[in-house]
Structure 1
Amino acid sequence: MHAIATADPLTRLYRDHHGWLQGWLRRRLGNAHEAADLAQDTFLRIVAGRHVPAIEEPRKYLATIARGLMVDRFRRHSLEAAWLETLAAQPEPQAVSPETRALILETLCAIDRMLDELGPRPREIFLLAQFEGLSYAAIGARLGVSVTTVKKHLARALTQCLLLAEGC
């Protein structure tokens, strides 16, 4: 009994709330295996923080972390599906090794995070220029902004892409 009373905060948090968190995730995801994975990832995120803060509302704290991880997972699945769809639309099927596939998906996720950090307007301008091939004038007309604004936002996004590429 004494060992339980003196357990570290992370052990207590895990013991007291892991089952609840896994059930909460299972109800949202509809998949027990994904729920178990995300519950573990939630606690790993806390461990990676190297300390367990004084938590007044542990379930709210865990749910906040888990929600962020769910968003990351859904975003990753969405990017993967879009990439596979693009790959399938190629004239000849491309044989891609698992390693190359993992690197491409990691790069896509990093670009997605970087674009999110820029904000909605630069993100939209970047996507219109890169994926729809629109000119500065066409982007400006579509979004109701000047060509100068389009150039400024696109330059910022491309600079971030270059910085991201240098970091890889």
Structure 2
Amino acid sequence: MSVFQESEQQTISNLYRQHHTWLFRWLRGKVESTESAADISHDIFVTLLAREEQLLLTEPRAFLTTLAKRSVANHWRRQQVEKAYLEAITDMPESLQPSEEERAIIVETIVDINRRLQGLPLDVKRAFLYAQLDGMKQQEIAEKLAVSVSTVKRYLTRAAAQCYFAITVK
């Protein structure tokens, strides 16, 4: 381990010792669940340990609050996706319902796709999802969105590029 890595681990260790309890309490108030608050605070510090850039903190609580707000937003987004997915499969016959493991994988995949499509206009997202999830043809998508087929092609190209080439940041 290099001197830089040891120094960085020490910085994060100090940050954890000095601010973890405060961060956990802050998160518990936001997510209203002890388990979720513990998971999110743990994930924040694991993410910090995985960073390759040096942490130069003058305001550690402000920095942790920023990370925590993003994590809480991701938590609620995931909860919404999971709830919508579980509602969508309730009408499926029990024999066709996915296992708990398959459900977790599906929800994680949906959350990842949603994250990758963030920032795109709504019609671009819809076109991509109609094509990928509903198997709709470009002509059908064009009719549904009231746009031309060439516009649908542009939408699909833009969404695919964003989805396939997005930098993975969690």
Give yes or no for TM over 0.5: yes
TM superposition score normalised by structure 2: 0.73
> Is 2:127–2:141's contact at 8 Å kept on the other side of the alignment?
no
Q: 1:21 to 1:52 in 2, by over 3 A?
A: farther
Match of 2:107 among 105, 108, 112: 105
After superposition, the CA RMSD in angstroms is 2.9
User: Secondary structure of the residue that 1:116 maps to in structure 2?
Assistant: coil
TM superposition score normalised by structure 1: 0.74
Cα deviation, 1:108-145, whole Å, max 9, x if unaligned, reads: 122212222645442143346656x66303303xxxx5
Measure, in 1, the Cα distance between the counterparts of 2:144 and 2:53: 50
Match of 1:137 among 125, 143, 159: 143
> Is 2:20–2:41's contact at 8 Å kept on the other side of the alignment?
yes
Aligned to 1:156: 158
Measure, in 1, the Cα distance between the counterparts of 2:108 and 2:88: 16
Measure, in 2, the Cα distance between the counterparts of 1:59 and 1:38: 15
Match of 2:40 among 15, 38, 41: 38
Runs ≥4 in structure 1, deviation > 6 angstroms? none
Aligned to 2:91: 89
Counterparts of residues 20-31 of structure 1 (less than 5 Å): 20-31=22-33
* CA shift for structure 1 position 155: 3.5
> Is 1:125–1:154's contact at 8 Å kept on the other side of the alignment?
yes
- How many residues align? The count is 152
* CA shift for structure 1 position 8: 1.9
Q: 1:50 to 1:155 in 2, by over 3 A?
A: closer
